Structure 1
Amino acid sequence: MIHIKRYALAAALLALCCSSLNAGPAPWYKWRSKIDNYLSCSQTPLGPGWEKDSGPYKDSRCEKLVLAK
């Protein structure tokens, strides 16, 4: 009985590790300032003074657009 629990735990940990290896990086977006229209590239919102302008992009310079699947 103890061996079955160990194998079940090992299988669960292996499945968890395999699924996390399949995850990709977060996309990048161009954000525009509501105050002075300055553009910035970021993966996360920059705050309430910013709105999403374009994207998603593959790179941190917001040059390579992600192609739709």
Structure 2
Amino acid sequence: MLRYVVSCSGVLLLWMTLEGARAAPAPWYWWTSKVDGQRVCAQFMPRQGWTQAEGPFTNPQCRPQRPVPPR
């Protein structure tokens, strides 16, 4: 019985480790205010009254990544 509990715990621990390794950061988006048209770069809607304008981006400047030239 103890061997069964230990092996199940090991499998669960391995599964949790592999799931965590695949996690990615949240993408960034341009958000536009419905009130005055102001734009903000954020990962989530700042508050009510904003609409998602452009995205997703991978950086907090909301700029497309430049391709790295091959060597």
Query: Could you tell me the TM-score, scaled by structure 2's length?
Result: 0.83
Tell me the equivalent position of 2:64: 64
Q: Percent identity?
A: 31
Does the residue aligned with 1:3 lie in a helix, a strand or coil?
helix
Root-mean-square deviation (Å): 1.2
> 1: distance between equivalents of 2:42 and 2:59?
10
Query: Could you tell me the TM-score, scaled by structure 1's length?
Result: 0.85
Q: Equivalent residues in 2 for 1:1-69 (5 A)? A: 1-64=1-64
Give the C-alpha shift of residue 52 in structure 1.
0.5
**Deviation above 6 Å: which 4+ runs of structure 1?**
none
5+ long unaligned stretches in structure 1: none
